[in-house]
Every structure is written in structure tokens, then in C-alpha cells.
């Protein structure tokens, strides 16, 4: 169940997780608006949604990827292109995203509402979807056992890493909420970094797929 390229997978996961994407920005916005407690419940719901998404993809994609070289290549190319697209969109709309994040709300959500909102943000997060569908399968060993079990293991590991990382973002943002909310340029910087990382990672995926094609 544990793939041989686990170290490479962990390194790639860390790069993706640290890049501020939709989930991270949503958690920061919650922390800025309502503080650390709301951010914690949002992060917990987000991690649960992330794991559910990985499980659904593993069950659906695992058997197909294990049998079909064409499907494996298509997932790589499609995922690389989409990551580049997401990065460009993040760069284009970074000022709009920052303005939305600094908008304050008065009614504080309950723990259930926070977990529910975090859950759906994860399930509908295109960045996470692309990672599970296009990048995660590259680290499985198709001749080493069940691809589905390997995908489930890697997905659970990714969700756990997201919980720790996003929880840290929420804790820091909740503590420094006034500092972040009073200057949108800081949030623009976060979104710019996230967009640039996604573009770079997308090109890396495309380069890897091209090398496998010509090799």
C-alpha cells in the first residue's frame, strides 16, 4: 500500500499545500473575520472534505489507471494544463480575492456551520481535485499492488498534512487578524505567490509527462 516514491510525494505535497489556494484563502478569510476558533472548525471540515474527495477519486480512477497507459497519460497532461490555468486565474483576480477576504461579517458562524462550509470548499476546490486526479496518480506503483489502496493511502496522508498546514494558517491569521485586514496588499502578495507556484507546478507536470512520452 505504501508506494516506493513516498519521499517525492511528500515533497510535492508540501509545495502544493504551502501555495495559498482557494482553501487556504477561505480559512484566512474566516480567521480574519471571526478569529482562531472559527478557523479551526473550518480547517477540520476542510480536511474531512479533502479526504472524501480523494477516496471518491481513488475508487473511480484506481482500477482505470492501473490498466490503461492512455488514461494515465491523459490525466497527467490534463492536470498540468489545468494547474497552469488555475495559476493564471489566481494572478488575474488576486486584487478581487484580497478585497473579498477583507470584508468583515458580523454574525459569527457556529462550529457546525464552520465545518460544513470548510467541507464544501474542499470538495469543490479545483486545486485539490486536480492534485488528486492528475498529480497523485504519478506516485503510485502500478506493478506493486492495488492502485486504489495506494491512492487512498496517499490521499489520507495529503488530507492530514493539509489539516496541520491549514490549521497553522488559521492560527497565524487569527492572531494577526488586524494586521492582515488593514492592508489588502499583504493578501494580494499571498495570492500572487500561490498563483505563481501553481503555474510553475503545472509546467513541471507537463514536462514530466513529455519526458515519459519521448522516453
pLDDT at 41 (0 to 100) = 93
pLDDT at 114 (0 to 100) = 87
pTM (predicted TM-score): 0.67
Q: How confident is the model at residue 136 (pLDDT cuts 50, 70, 90)?
A: confident
Phi, psi of 163 (to 5 degrees): -60, -45
pLDDT at 103 (0 to 100) = 56
pLDDT at 43 (0 to 100) = 93
SS in 3 state form for 34-59? Answer: HCHHHHHHHHHHHHHHHHHHHHHHHH
Q: How confident is the model at residue 95 (pLDDT cuts 50, 70, 90)?
A: confident
User: Which of the two residues, 134 and 156, has the higher pLDDT score?
Assistant: 156
Amino acid at each position: 500500500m505504501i508506494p516506493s516514491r513516498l519521499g517525492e510525494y511528500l515533497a510535492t505535497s508540501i509545495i502544493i499545500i504551502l501555495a495559498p489556494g482557494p482553501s487556504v484563502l477561505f480559512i484566512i478569510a474566516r480567521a480574519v473575520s471571526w478569529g482562531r476558533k472559527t478557523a479551526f472548525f473550518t480547517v477540520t471540515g476542510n480536511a474531512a472534505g479533502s479526504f472524501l474527495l480523494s477516496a471518491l477519486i481513488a475508487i473511480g480512477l484506481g482500477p482505470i489507471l492501473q490498466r490503461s497507459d492512455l488514461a494515465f497519460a491523459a490525466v497527467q497532461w490534463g492536470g498540468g494544463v489545468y494547474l497552469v490555468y488555475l495559476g493564471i486565474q489566481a494572478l488575474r483576480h488576486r486584487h478581487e480575492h484580497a478585497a473579498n477576504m477583507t470584508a468583515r461579517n458580523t454574525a459569527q458562524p457556529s462550529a457546525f456551520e464552520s465545518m460544513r462550509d470548510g467541507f464544501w470548499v474542499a470538495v469543490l476546490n479545483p486545486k485539490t481535485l486536480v492534485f488528486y486526479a492528475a498529480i497523485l496518480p504519478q506516485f503510485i506503483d502500478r506493478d506493486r499492488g492495488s492502485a486504489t489502496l495506494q491512492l487512498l493511502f496517499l490521499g489520507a496522508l495529503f488530507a492530514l498534512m493539509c489539516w496541520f498546514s491549514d490549521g497553522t494558517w488559521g492560527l497565524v491569521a487569527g492572531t494577526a487578524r488586524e494586521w492582515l485586514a488593514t492592508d489588502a496588499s499583504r493578501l494580494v502578495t499571498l495570492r500572487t505567490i500561490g498563483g505563481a507556484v501553481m503555474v510553475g507546478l503545472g509546467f513541471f507536470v507537463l514536462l514530466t509527462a513529455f519526458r515519459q512520452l519521448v522516453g
